[in-house]
A = this chain, B = another copy of it.
Amino acid sequence: MTSDLSSYMNECKKLLDEELPAYIDRLEMPESLKDAMLYSIHAGGKRIRPILMLATVEAFGHSIKEAIPVACAVEMIHTYSLIHDDLPAMDNDDLRRGKPTNHIVFGEATAILAGDALLTQSFELIADSNLTSEQKVDLIKLLSHAAGPSGMVGGQMADLDGEKQELTLEQLEYIHHHKTGKLLVFSIMAGAIIGHATSHQREHLRAFGEHIGLSFQISDDILDVEGEEGKIGKLPGSDETNEKSTYPKLLTLDGAKEKLNHHFKEGLAHLTAANVQKDTLQSIAKFIVERDH
């Protein structure tokens, strides 16, 4: 990562790390629920979705301030999905990013409710923002579609259905496209809506997001094979041990790298065709694909 990009991302992350908990802290609710919501919000990772959104807004020459509530909303949805995915009935994870998961600290019932609360509140955040009513409706339509049964929740269901099975490449892409891709694409599309993109620009940015989303997932799988334990936060090769279907397993490692390159190049071509100030978005895309953790 270049130092320019690094400081850009750190600055965005710092802003989000302040805005997100402050917003939740202002709400009236039982303290036990607030504690659980704030715990997972504070445990946040790279904030890659909201940062993509802010960078897209800037690519249209708009101020990131206009997008902060929507950026917080998408991170709240991402956070709720992690809390529910970690539950004993789902992936049964005790640790996330080195910290005990929500249900380990607060109990399962509270974790379920904290997830429900973050999901629900994200829509109020958008509805209460300073955008026009038309923009809000567009954003809520896209977000609920990206996060719901035809999007992220559907991807998680397909992932659970496919566990311990040999998946075809088509099934694997369905899971990734829905489970992680849709919310990444939403983040970029939200930036386009806030930046008043033309429909031509929207289409190219959607394609950019879809290709970068797939690149992100393929690079994740490659990292699992090639990465260093200390950097990726799990044992390299753990996907194989878990009998997980991955791109390297279905395509060989070289095949996976070729596919990654293909999607990355296609993504950048669409970004260029969108005709926006593309430098930061291009750097983030490169970072997503070339990161070593």
* Chain A, interface residues (CB within 8 Å), range: 35 or more
In the complex, which residues 78-115 of chain A have their Cβ closer than 8 Å to any Cβ of chain B?
84, 87, 89-90, 107-110, 112-113, 115
Copies in the complex: 2
Tell me the dominant secondary structure on chain A's binding face. helix
Contacts known (A110-B160, A149-B121, A154-B33); A84 close to B144, Cβ less than 8 A: no
Minimum CB–CB distance from A213 to chain B (whole Å) comes to 18
Minimum CB–CB distance from A171 to chain B (whole Å) comes to 11
- Determine which residue in A34, A123, A134, A136 has the highest number of CB atoms from chain B within 10 A of its CB, and name it: A123
Bound CA span A117–B160, Å: 15
What residues of B have a CB within 8 angstroms of the CB of A168 in the complex? Answer: none
Contact (Cβ within 8 A) A148 B32: no
Contacts known (A150-B28, A157-B29); A124 close to B145, Cβ less than 8 A: yes
- Determine which residue in A37, A112, A141 has the highest number of CB atoms from chain B within 10 A of its CB, and name it: A112
Bound CA span A121–B140, Å: 10
Bound CA span A189–B181, Å: 36
In the complex, which residues 6-53 of chain A have their Cβ closer than 8 Å to any Cβ of chain B?
27-30, 32-34, 37
Complex interface bits, A212-230 against B, C-beta within 8 A gives 1, otherwise 0: 0000000000000000000
Residue of B nearest to A33 (CB): B157
Bound CA span A157–B109, Å: 9
A154: which of B29, B87, B134, B161 is its contact (CB, 8 Å)?
A: B29
Bound CA span A160–B145, Å: 31
Binding site for B on A (CB under 8 A): 27-30, 32-34, 37, 84, 87, 89-90, 107-110, 112-113, 115-117, 119-124, 126-128, 132-134, 136-137, 140-141, 143-145, 147-150, 153-154, 156-158, 160-161
